[in-house]
């Protein structure tokens, strides 16, 4: 990671490279919301997301990007299970955005911790990052939900899926 | 400034950034000290920026795959909720693609609370970074380029924040001043785009990097034992030559012209012969303090401890002052890739030059220079400069065989050598114990070769010298 280069400073010995507390707490809260939303949709999904929450905390404390990725994967499976069990659209969307924020903030916290450290001033940075991620998720969920409400019943699922496939291709081209 | 004050300043700034008039508030923050007024002026000066690297961080990797998989599962199982969840994933995939990592359009200024501190003083450093660009820096991590020889003792010299165009961030940290001349290096700014998928590392170098010069007072050392190689000038070194002095040396037959007060009248009364008392003549010596500052000498028993070079420079300072005070002529040289030579001399101006050399000479810097060291070249140059009647006090940790062999070579060329060696070995691991054993063996070999050696470890340098001196014959 980038911190390896930056972290060669003299103060490296004493620096606590753990993630900032705000990042850990935000991630925990977001994961909790995701668990609650999935629990409302289906108990099994909620249970899987609770496991993911534990994973996020463990990944933050143990400073492991891999643990965070695994936790996000488990959370995703939990959401799929909740959706398959017939969970409501609203709770699933809330759960999805909350899971994304939980993973993103935890991951961001790890990199900030590595490069800047736990004791430095990082609140603003973490808050802005969490805010933009929440905004991006909220916007896309809002648009998706609006389209869903407007087109519900009249459009078959397959057409919607094709549209989304087009959007994915667009996203790939943009990159 | 106390830690509580520092944190207060920090918080004040952070709050100020959240309000619209960041500049006004920043001034209020800076009201703490007068030197900040200069800092305000410097901010308009240029800050050099060099892009070090731009990378993809790999965050959100696979989000498109996840989105497609969710849509697929949703279609197959006929669950619209999953398709919509996949659509949110597509939204994130678009978000990840947006934006390059922004250029770190920062003007950085740095102020130190004291430019010429005493060793061990706490120096507070204030760094201000001002976003002078038109784009906001949503994710900025700033790492200050603290000089390698200084230790940060209060707060990391780092900050992570987000800066609107025109906004500024200020942070403070404290370093412990140590001997030498320290200049700050370029700060490192890491910027990311909002999603964190792209990252750019920039070196931000203020046109006026801060620097501190720390020149320690030379502490008074005890009497330093020198060996019997002296100049023809009078001084305080007792020699084996008879003449005028204070200590009895020998008696000899009276010769015409001997001063009356030196005639041994008791003997005259006893035997009727005239004899003259000879006193031990005292002369000045020329001494060159040679300090081992090769890369291998930058060793310490533990990571946080002082290096052997620091120990040697401290001891050399004591020796310098003691010898100069005793009337000897003292010079300074470094066994180092960087040239360092202060010719032996005496007097107040020379004392000041010596103090300056020991404090700030690049050859004796607190961190190694990293240049290659050629022993035979160095030795030839050293020999050319060394006055014929000079003796050498060689300060070295003796952690390698080269130091011992140099001591023997100098001794062989007729310059009497005294080796003064700080014990910086540890006894934790078998490797450390082996190094300690080898060092002891080297000391033993030097002593058996007729070279005086003093080592000091737990006890202070003057104590070790006093103890060793009592063993030595003149």
The single residue listed with the structure tokens 């609650």 is A36
**DSSP secondary-structure letter at A121?**
B
Query: Could you give the number of structural domains in chain A?
Result: 1
pLDDT exceeds cutoff 90 at A47:
yes
More confident residue, B36 or A172: A172
Q: What is the pLDDT of residue B255?
A: 85
The answer to the question of residue A6 being in a domain is no
Look at residue B149 in the predicted model and tell me its pLDDT: 83
- The answer to whether B156 contacts A87, with C-beta atoms less than 8 Å apart, is no
How far is residue B360's CA from residue B214's CA, in Å, rounded to a whole number?
Answer: 8
| Touching A: B residues 17-76, CB under 8 Å | 17-18, 55, 57, 59-60, 64, 66-68, 70-75
Q: Which of B57, B92, B156 sits opposite A100 (nearest CB)?
A: B92
Judge whether A99 lies within some domain. yes
Q: What pLDDT was estimated at residue A36?
A: 93
Q: Is the pLDDT of residue B49 over 50?
A: yes
Q: Write out the two tokens for A23.
A: 């990042």
Q: Is residue A11 part of a domain?
A: no
What's chain B's average pLDDT? 82
B 324-363 residues with CB < 8 A to A: none
Residue B37 has what pLDDT?
34
Which residues on neighbouring strands pair with residue B263, listed in sequence order? Answer: B276
Q: Are B378 and B409 in contact (CB under 8 A)?
A: no
> How does residue B253 score in pLDDT terms, banded at 50, 70 and 90?
confident
Nearest residue on chain A to B137, alpha-carbon basis: A125
pLDDT at res. A33: 94
Q: What is the pLDDT of residue B263?
A: 85
Query: Do the chains contact at B84 and A148, CB–CB below 8 Å?
Result: yes
Comparing CA positions, the residue from B419, B221, B181, B451 lying closest to residue B315 is B221
Query: What pLDDT score was predicted for residue A171?
Result: 66
pLDDT tens digits for A90-131? 899 999 999 999 999 999 999 999 999 888 889 999 999 999
* Contact criterion met (CB < 8 Å) for A2 and B201: yes
Mean pLDDT of A167-175: 67
Extract the runs of DSSP E, i.e. beta strands, from B184-340.
185-192, 198-206, 211-214, 234-253, 275-283, 286-292, 329-335
- Beta strand extents in B328-413 (DSSP E only): 329-335, 341-345, 390-395
B186 close to B203: Cβ distance less than 8 angstroms = yes
**Tens of pLDDT along B59-114?**
888 888 898 898 888 888 888 888 889 889 988 988 888 888 888 888 899 999 98
Q: Does A117 map to a domain?
A: yes
Instruction: Residue A160: list chain B partners with CB under 8 A.
Output: 80, 83, 87
State how far the Cα of B234 lies from the Cα of B245, in Å rounded to an integer: 10
Q: Could you tell me if B170 and B127 are in contact, meaning their C-beta atoms sit under 8 angstroms apart? A: yes
Would A37 be classed as within a structural domain? yes
Å from B123 to nearest chain A CA?
A: 15
User: Tokens for A21?
Assistant: 């507390």
pLDDT tens digit string along A127-143? 999 999 999 999 999 98
Distance of alpha carbon B334 from alpha carbon B332, whole angstroms: 7
Q: For residue A122, which of A114, A132, A111, A112 has the smallest C-alpha distance?
A: A112
Residue A7 lies in a domain: no
Percent of chain B clearing pLDDT 90 (strictly above): 25
The range of the structural domain enclosing residue A83 comes to 18-174
Picking from B87, B100, B171, B204 by the largest number of A CB atoms within 10 A of its own CB, the best residue to mutate is: B87
| H-assigned helices in A85-122 | 89-115
| Residue ranges of domains in chain B, CATH in brackets | 3-58+100-214 (2.60.40.10), 240-283 (no CATH), 286-471 (3.40.50)
- A115: nearest Cα among A13, A17, A25: A17
| pLDDT single digits (tens) B317-369 | 888 888 888 888 899 999 999 899 999 998 889 999 998 899 888 888 888 88
The pLDDT value recorded for residue B14 is 41
> DSSP letters along B280-301, please?
EEEE--EEEEEEE-SGGG---S
The pLDDT of residue B8 = 39
- The answer to whether position A41 is within a domain reads yes
Burial code of B17-50, b = ≥16 C-beta within 10 A, e = fewer? beeeebeebbeebbebeeebeebeebbeeebebe
User: Considering the domain boundaries, does residue A8 fall inside one?
Assistant: no
- Asked if the Cβ–Cβ distance from B83 to A161 is below 8 Å, we say yes
């Amino acid at each position: 990671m980038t911190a390896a280069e930056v972290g060669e400073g003299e103060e490296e010995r004493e620096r606590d490279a753990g993630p900032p507390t705000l990042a850990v707490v935000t991630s925990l809260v977001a994961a909790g919301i995701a668990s609650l939303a999935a629990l409302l949709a289906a108990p099994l999904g909620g249970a899987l997301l609770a496991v993911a929450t534990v994973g996020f905390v463990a990944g933050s404390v143990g400073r492991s990007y891999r643990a965070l990725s695994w936790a996000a994967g488990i959370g995703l499976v939990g959401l799929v299970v909740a959706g398959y069990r017939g969970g409501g659209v609203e709770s699933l969307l809330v759960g999805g955005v909350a899971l994304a924020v939980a993973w993103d903030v935890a991951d961001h916290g790890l990199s900030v911790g590595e490069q800047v450290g736990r004791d430095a001033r990082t609140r603003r940075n973490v808050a802005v990052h969490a805010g933009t991620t929440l905004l991006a998720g909220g916007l896309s969920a809002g648009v998706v939900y609006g389209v869903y409400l407007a087109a519900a019943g009249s459009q078959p699922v397959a057409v919607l899926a094709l549209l989304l496939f087009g959007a994915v291709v667009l996203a790939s081209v943009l990159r | 400034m106390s830690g509580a004050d520092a944190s207060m300043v920090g918080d004040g700034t952070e709050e100020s950034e959240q309000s619209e008039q960041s500049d006004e508030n920043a001034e209020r923050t800076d009201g703490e000290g007068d030197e900040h007024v200069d800092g305000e002026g410097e901010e308009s000066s240029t800050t050099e920026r060099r892009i070090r690297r731009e990378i993809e961080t790999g965050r959100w990797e696979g989000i498109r795959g996840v989105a497609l998989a969710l849509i697929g599962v949703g279609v197959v199982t006929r669950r619209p909720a999953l398709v919509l969840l996949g659509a949110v994933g597509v939204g994130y995939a678009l978000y990840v693609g947006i934006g390059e990592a922004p250029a770190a359009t920062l003007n950085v200024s740095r102020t130190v609370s004291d430019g010429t501190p005493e060793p061990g003083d706490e120096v507070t450093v204030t760094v201000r970074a001002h976003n002078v660009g038109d784009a906001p820096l949503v994710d900025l991590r700033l790492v200050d380029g603290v000089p390698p020889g200084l230790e940060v003792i209060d707060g990391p010299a780092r900050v992570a924040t987000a800066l609107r165009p025109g906004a500024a961030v200020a942070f403070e940290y404290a370093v412990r001043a140590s001997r030498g001349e320290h200049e700050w290096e370029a700060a490192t700014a890491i910027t990311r785009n909002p999603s964190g998928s792209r990252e750019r590392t920039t070196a931000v170098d203020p046109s006026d990097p801060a620097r501190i010069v720390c020149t320690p007072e030379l502490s008074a050392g005890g009497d330093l034992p020198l060996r019997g190689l002296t100049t023809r000038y009078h001084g305080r070194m007792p020699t084996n030559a008879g003449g005028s002095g204070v200590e009895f040396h020998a008696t000899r037959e009276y010769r015409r012209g001997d001063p009356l007060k030196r005639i041994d009248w008791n003997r005259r009364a006893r035997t009727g012969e005239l004899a003259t008392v000879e006193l031990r003549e005292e002369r000045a010596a020329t001494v060159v303090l040679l300090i081992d500052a090769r890369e291998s000498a930058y060793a310490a028993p533990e990571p946080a401890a002082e290096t052997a070079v620091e120990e040697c420079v401290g001891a050399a300072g004591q020796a310098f002052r003691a010898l100069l005070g005793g009337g000897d002529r003292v010079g300074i040289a470094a066994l180092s890739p960087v040239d360092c030579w202060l010719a032996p001399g005496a007097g107040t101006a020379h004392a000041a030059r010596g103090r300056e050399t020991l404090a700030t000479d690049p050859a004796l810097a607190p961190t190694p220079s990293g240049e290659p060291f050629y022993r035979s070249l160095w030795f030839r140059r050293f020999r050319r400069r060394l006055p014929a009647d000079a003796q050498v006090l060689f300060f070295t940790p003796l952690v390698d065989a080269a130091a011992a062999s140099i001591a023997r070579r100098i001794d062989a060329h007729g310059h009497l050598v005294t080796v003064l060696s700080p014990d910086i070995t540890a006894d934790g691991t078998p490797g450390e114990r082996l190094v300690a054993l080898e060092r002891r063996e080297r000391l033993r070999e030097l002593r058996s070769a007729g070279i005086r050696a003093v080592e000091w470890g737990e006890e202070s340098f003057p104590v070790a010298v006093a103890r060793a001196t009592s063993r030595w014959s003149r």
